[in-house]
Structure 1
Amino acid sequence: MNLTPVLMNSLPEGYTALVAGASGAIGQAFVRQLRADPRCGRIIELSRQSTPPLLLDDEASLADCARMLAAQSPLHLVIDATGALSIDGQGPEKRLEELQAARLQRAMTINAIGPALLLRHLHPLLATGERVIWAKLSARVGSIEDNRKGGWYGYRASKAALNMLLQTAAIEVARRRPLAVVAALQPGTVRSRLSAPFVGDAAMEPDAAACGLLAALDRLEASGRAHFIDYSGEHIPW
């Protein structure tokens, strides 16, 4: 797919970008698009296969990643593309009868707690005195107001919890970094191995989603609050 590269003009020339979850379909797409931006000076990739590995259910690994990254800071753009729809090989619960404590706890760990702890360990590495962006993949189904169909209990609840954690963190981060932008992202239905069982071929190419999200992030203003947007830049109700 031939897409016009997105230039992150709101960030400093030679900015440093970090993509967490860089081995996934949309994480790889973000890496490709950032490599095409001549203004990007460095791209750091973290995943379960990186050294050290990024393991959302192991806080020690997150601390190791932060220590490794200290020498490559400050960071100007962090995109956390981690997350899971299926938990331990099982798809989202559609009925109350399918709820299990262990699966719910696992969804919270992967989709909310782990990303929040990653933010805890990495936010000191964000640049000060200049614009920075922390963007985390969320999901429209995490919107409490927008929930009209029900189902997908663990995934919805974990994404809603993630959104609250991001909103709360945005308020704190802005106290020391008033130019910081924190955003929860809805990438749309993206074609990937993980989404295939649920959407088939009716999905967007990962690079199209990444381009849309980067362009939307570049336009966002620092407000001391988190944003919840989709790939076209439209705001989603919390």
Structure 2
Amino acid sequence: MTSLNPGYRALVLGASGGIGSAFAAALRTDSRCAAVEEVSRSRDGFDITDEASVAAAAARFSDAGLRFDLILCATGALVIDGTGPEKTIKAIDAGAMAAQFALNAIGPALALKHFSPLLASEGKSVFANLSARVGSIGDNRLGGWISYRSAKAALNQITRTAAIEIARQRPASVVVAMHPGSVDTGFSGGFAKGHERISAVQSVSMMLAALDGLQPSHTGCFFAYDGQPIEW
């Protein structure tokens, strides 16, 4: 098993959110983690939908000569500007759909563009994007939530495509999409009622364990928080 090396450095994008802050807290208590850097909108004005903001944040670390063994992109939202997921195709709104893609697909693509060059080139390195099981096309048996589902499906394709390219320069890299589960953070805006929910601490603990156990052969894949693969 290829685990992250003792003394690894981590970076959390979206560190002020429910899952992002839980990631940062867990990493700070991991004796193997030498340093945790955090970027967020509330602390740094980091806007993942604005390429200039993403590029500037990455440049700060690059200029300081920092490289990371673990990069976690914990940005995203189900409800944007008060608009939640549609129940039917009749409710599609072009502006709301564009906002979903900007935040949940294009944003992580920009993060990969600007932050993946900061992955350590020696030993195992991991870049994980938070996705969602509802982004699975094969697992979709209920319909609805078209904009959010489609944006997460796009994120999965972005992650897989980037993984192939990144592996050419960093053969030991692991670039994956992760489903955190139905997490009790307020993220779902009440839309997760009826689903069993877990705490952010539980979700993050399991995701970090799963990521630690993944091999370079798993790069470009989609996993649940417990390490089980999810079909595309």
TM-score, normalised to structure 1, is 0.93
1:126 aligned onto 2:91 = no
For the residues of structure 2 that align with 1:231 and 1:114, how far apart are their CA atoms? Answer: 22
SS in structure 2 at match of 1:33: helix
1:199 deviates by 2.5
Q: Please say if residues 17 and 75 of structure 1, whose CA atoms lie closer than 8 Å, have aligned partners that are also in contact.
A: yes
Equivalent of residue 146 in structure 2, options 143, 153, 159: 153
Give the paired residue count.
230
Aligned match of 2:49: 57
1:50 deviates by 2.7
Aligned match of 1:207: 201
Q: Please say if residues 170 and 224 of structure 1, whose CA atoms lie closer than 8 Å, have aligned partners that are also in contact.
A: no
Calculate percent identity across the aligned residue pairs: 47
Q: Please say if residues 173 and 219 of structure 2, whose CA atoms lie closer than 8 Å, have aligned partners that are also in contact.
A: no
1:67 aligned onto 2:37 = no
| Alpha-carbon displacement from aligned partner over 1:189-219 (angstroms, at most 9, x marks no partner) | 0001222411248421000000000101111
Unaligned runs of 5+ residues in structure 1 are 1-8
For the residues of structure 2 that align with 1:92 and 1:58, how far apart are their CA atoms? Answer: 23
1:125 deviates by 1.1
1:78 deviates by 0.4
Aligned match of 2:158: 165
For the residues of structure 2 that align with 1:232 and 1:96, how far apart are their CA atoms? Answer: 32
Aligned match of 1:235: 229
1:224 deviates by 7.0
Give the ranges of 4+ consecutive aligned residues of structure 1 lying more than 3 Å apart after TM superposition: none
TM-score, normalised to structure 2, is 0.95
Q: CA RMSD, aligned part only?
A: 1.6
1:13 deviates by 2.1
For the residues of structure 2 that align with 1:95 and 1:40, how far apart are their CA atoms? Answer: 45
Aligned match of 1:180: 173
1:12 deviates by 2.1
